[in-house]
Structure 1
Amino acid sequence: MSEAISPATMVVWGGFVLAFIFGAVANKTNFCTMGAISDIVNMAHWGRMRMWLLTIAVAVVGSNLLYYFGLIDLSKSVYQRPSLSWLSMLLGGFLFGVGMTIAAGCTNKNLVRLGGGSVRSLVVLVFLAISAYMTLKGLFGQWRASYLDTVVLDLSQWGLTTQGLSQILARLTGLPEKTALLTTALLAGLGLLVFVFKDKRFRGNLSQVTGAIVLGLLIVAAWFLTGNIGYGENPDTLETVYFATNTRTLESLSFVAPTAFSLELLMLWTDKSMRVTFGIATVIGVVLGSFAYAVSTRQFRWEGFASLEDLRTQLTGAVLMGFGGVTALGCTIGQGLSGVSTLALGSFIALTGIVSGAVVTMKWQQR
């Protein structure tokens, strides 16, 4: 009888498969948060934004139903810590929004473009990874830890153990926490669904509707993969752990820090302590999923920089995204989808920063 597949292996390969699908669907549907914001600012068109909001609605309802029925524990995710670093979230999100706008795409979009043949995106991702790694463990990290992360709102002084909106609602209204959780998730999800589907044109766009539902379910599946399948007893230490995640707790899709960890793995390949994690597998999966779609539809095209000025602008955006994404604990996917799906207060602050940074930069570019 063959040996059972280890939880770590299932998490890594499962993450790769989920991200492969994510990359292919994002390429096919042109899923892009920066593009969605740009459509509104420049053309007052809400099509791609409705797709993004539908993805959020599916992710919120699905993730919190898993939490409600005890299949995962979102309170243990990094987004739900009772220590709210609001300045890091807001400023980091704002800088990420600025960076993704001048780089013409967020981390996920650049991974998708790389799969489609963009050498420009490869260069952007390398500089983003260097900046992110410096923010995690290097010079930028010292600035972040000394000046931003020290500005903290301790929610535990109000009796809260997480920064989830459901627990805040329970505290304010006296509702049981599980009731507050279900109420918050359903209200948020249904509110978004009403707004999204009130537009007849969007309802008729089967590609965007289907794509959004699939992408939202992938966020939910990733939580289940790392928080249920990947949760168990470590045979070496006999401790109950989350396997193969960089945060050592349950994770869903996020691409800034995992891009940095991917670069670290390549640079320290012979270090036997290095392992492919869920995050690294998802970075690879998005690129290959996008590549598979581009090749199968004959849309694969080599792409480079248009000019020296284009190179300079793209690299500046990459550095800002690396610093901002780590500081805010996520990007348009990490906070905008995965974080928001937990209904964490900090994720909404980070998302506000991202959107604000993008809008301000677009207005500045117009002028």
Structure 2
Amino acid sequence: MFELETYSLVNILGLALGIIFGFIAQKNQFCFSGSIKDFLQIKSTKRAASVIMAMIVAVISTQIISNYFEIDLTQSAYFKKDINYFAIIVGGALFGAGMMIADGCSSRSIVKFAQGDSNALITLIFIAIFAYTTTKGVLFEIINPFINNPTLIEISKTIDNFQLNIYVVLAVLFVLLYTFTKKVKRVFSLYDGVIVGLLIGAAWFVTGYIGSESMEKEIQVQAISFVYPSAKTLELFTYYQVNEFSFGVCLVIGALVGTFVSTLFNKKYSFGCTANKTINKVKYNMIGGAMMGVGGIMAIGCTVGQGLSGLSTLVFSSFLAIISIFVSGYFTGKYLLKKDKLAMCFIFEWEDENKKKSKQIDFQI
């Protein structure tokens, strides 16, 4: 009987997880930056509730799986020894601003491109290029001295990169979920958040448990993230003779495939849009993508990488990163809204609220 090497099996499972992520993210337009945009524009909390639900399920599933299968989460990048909180905060701020300027974070750009928004490809390319140059290219000489600054690292050591109490974290998240939903019946519509959260736990299982059996190659303990994997995907297709597929690259490819398949059944969102015709969309995609590429590396992850995967480990630096991303994204969004440059394509509102509202929002496609 044909048997796959563990490394290959992990990659195939990564592809499968990416396909599921892309499919569900396209179907319900799951998006962290979009949840901020919805609240700023129409005070809708529907997508924000989905994000919080994903966080809750990610934390619970990850902790259950890691404890039951004895997966050492401290081997992941989120538990970096010489952590620099200043780099985490600055990187998070860059990423948060960039995702609002480009109208979507890294995972959202993957979904938007695969569902028909060609401008999102520009964002993806710039995320990949700038993430790559920050880790191995010309920006490495500029960014690395700041990330690994001995003085900043020493100051950061005054607060250990500890794991927060799971009950405290869940209590805060459930309060937020209640605040965003208000009605119990609305919780049952947040199945996209449940599935995305379960995918985080599944990713830890694939790399941390199945991957630990790999004898041919070492597999890093990781979950779902899209900034550095986007850079590795670009590297693979650029230098294919000296590179190979990895779990992260397979996630990116899978998300593209899953999104495209979803558009065959869910054509409503199969195109892109801008807030108004005066916006130089390409310029915003380039700037936002570049900021996310650099910021994602500095913050050790994106809205999914830190906001879900990192947060699921309960490590302090991940909470610092996602808070930084949110604060920066929120105020950048407010500024763009004031300047009438915050994209508005579709209305994401609770079904019971949709029935009440008769006022139509003017948006252009």
The alpha carbon displacement at 1:275 in A equals 1.1
Contact 2:15–2:254, Cα closer than 8 Å, also in 1 = yes
1:201-248 alpha-carbon deviations (Å, 9 max, x no partner): 66434674211111100000000000001112525xxxxx643xxxxx
Q: Name the counterpart of 1:56.
A: 55
Judge which range, 86-95 or 205-214, deviates more: 205-214
Judge which range, 23-32 or 205-214, deviates more: 205-214
What aligned pairs does 1:256-295 form with structure 2 within 5 A after superposition? 256-271=227-242, 274-295=243-264
Partner Cα separation in structure 1 for residue 293 and residue 156 of structure 2: 28
Q: Secondary structure at the match of 2:18?
A: helix
Partner Cα separation in structure 2 for residue 319 and residue 308 of structure 1: 18
1:108 equivalenced with 2:107 (yes/no): yes
1:296-328 alpha-carbon deviations (Å, 9 max, x no partner): 233474558867722111111111011111111
Change in Cα spacing, 1:7 to 1:353, as seen in structure 2 (3 Å) is same
The alpha carbon displacement at 1:290 in A equals 0.7
Contact 1:32–1:48, Cα closer than 8 Å, also in 2 = yes
1:10-61 alpha-carbon deviations (Å, 9 max, x no partner): 1101011111011111111111101111223333332211110110011111
Change in Cα spacing, 1:141 to 1:62, as seen in structure 2 (3 Å) is same
Change in Cα spacing, 1:308 to 1:29, as seen in structure 2 (3 Å) is closer
Q: TM-score with structure 1 length normalisation? A: 0.84
Partner Cα separation in structure 2 for residue 153 and residue 190 of structure 1: 32
Judge which range, 197-206 or 251-260, deviates more: 197-206
In structure 2, runs of 5+ residues without a counterpart are 339-365
Report the RMSD for the aligned CA atoms in angstroms: 2.3
Change in Cα spacing, 1:300 to 1:65, as seen in structure 2 (3 Å) is closer
Q: Secondary structure at the match of 1:83?
A: coil
Aligned amino acid, residue 110 of structure 2: L
Change in Cα spacing, 1:39 to 1:250, as seen in structure 2 (3 Å) is same
What aligned pairs does 1:289-308 form with structure 2 within 5 A after superposition? 289-299=258-268, 301=270, 303=272
1:226 equivalenced with 2:207 (yes/no): yes
What aligned pairs does 1:231-242 form with structure 2 within 5 A after superposition? 231-232=212-213, 234-235=215-216, 242=218
Change in Cα spacing, 1:198 to 1:131, as seen in structure 2 (3 Å) is closer
In structure 1, runs of 5+ residues without a counterpart are 167-183, 236-240, 244-248
1:152 equivalenced with 2:150 (yes/no): no
Q: TM-score with structure 2 length normalisation? A: 0.85
Change in Cα spacing, 1:29 to 1:82, as seen in structure 2 (3 Å) is same
Q: Name the counterpart of 1:323.
A: 294
Change in Cα spacing, 1:34 to 1:233, as seen in structure 2 (3 Å) is closer
1:58-96 alpha-carbon deviations (Å, 9 max, x no partner): 111111122223431111111012322101110001000
Contact 2:93–2:328, Cα closer than 8 Å, also in 1 = yes
The alpha carbon displacement at 1:363 in A equals 2.2
Change in Cα spacing, 1:87 to 1:332, as seen in structure 2 (3 Å) is same
Judge which range, 125-134 or 59-68, deviates more: 59-68
Percent identity over paired residues = 29
Partner Cα separation in structure 2 for residue 156 and residue 318 of structure 1: 31
Q: Name the counterpart of 1:193.
A: 174
Q: Name the counterpart of 1:164.
A: 162
Contact 2:85–2:156, Cα closer than 8 Å, also in 1 = no
